[in-house]
Amino acid sequence: MVGHRAMSKGKLPLNDLAGGAGRMDVLIRAMMAALMTSHGLRKDTEIILHLGGGPGPPRRIRFDGSELVGVHAEERSIAGQIGKVIAKPLPPIGQWQTISRGIEHSGGNLQTTLSQWGDIPVVALDAKAPRLWADQATLPSLSNEVEVDLGFVLSDDQPLEEELLEGTTRRSIGQKWLQGHMAIGIVHFLLDEGVDLNL
């Protein structure tokens, strides 16, 4: 999840996440949608928040659902955890430094993340692109589940630069621009139900 204006360093203003923190509220809602279920966490999911709003170089924060503990579905609580991260010195690009169980941070931007993901298929969500699910897709029997690593890229309220998306497959979940956390919910539904994807 790319936050173009999200603070990467300093004292996070907990009372102004939408303004002074650079739309950190959007990233926090995306993090909750990616990892949290009604009664727990998705153990097979991680989300990397890309904080590109400065001051200073961009920072990445990774939340790993298989390790994460002590996180509650409440924006201000998660903002407090992010605030602790951005108050720390920035690690070198590409080196993940553990903050607490399931939370790490590193220097770098989206290109750094994509290169670290290697050869897994990566889908950039774009309302103008072809539909994510395959033509004639139906909900299959869940007994045919196959686990596959997939990466998804989405942005805050700013479009992603074209050059950052090289090597990704662009797909849409509809012609209307949705909020990031809603888009994540739809993608989780498609993956959870085993819908054939148009990759």
Where does the pLDDT of residue 139 fall: very low under 50, low under 70, confident under 90, or very high at 90 and above? Answer: low
Q: How many domains does the chain have?
A: 1
Domain membership of residue 131 (yes or no) is yes
- In the chain, the percentage of residues whose pLDDT exceeds 90 is 68
Give the Cα separation of 4 and 54 in Å (integer): 9
- Phi, psi of 41, deg, nearest 5: -120, 150
Q: Does residue 145 surpass a pLDDT of 80?
A: no
Cβ count within 10 A of residue 179: 15
Domain membership of residue 19 (yes or no) is yes
Note whether 125 and 171 are within 8 A (CB).
Answer: yes
Q: Does residue 143 surpass a pLDDT of 50?
A: no
Tell me the pLDDT tens digit for each residue of 4-24: 999 999 999 999 999 999 999
Give the Cα separation of 96 and 47 in Å (integer): 14
- Phi, psi of 170, deg, nearest 5: -95, 130
171 lies in which domain range?
Answer: 2-192
Domain membership of residue 170 (yes or no) is yes
Domain membership of residue 84 (yes or no) is yes
Domain membership of residue 60 (yes or no) is yes
Tell me the pLDDT tens digit for each residue of 58-107: 999 999 999 999 888 889 999 999 999 999 999 999 999 999 999 999 99
DSSP assignment of 67-92, as one string? T--S--S-HHHHHHHHHHHHTSPPPP
Domain membership of residue 198 (yes or no) is no
Looking at every residue in the chain, the average pLDDT score rounds to 90
Domain membership of residue 158 (yes or no) is yes
Domain membership of residue 199 (yes or no) is no
CATH code of the domain containing 14: 3.40.1280.10
Tell me the pLDDT tens digit for each residue of 179-198: 899 999 999 999 888 888 88
- Hey, what amino acid is at 112? T
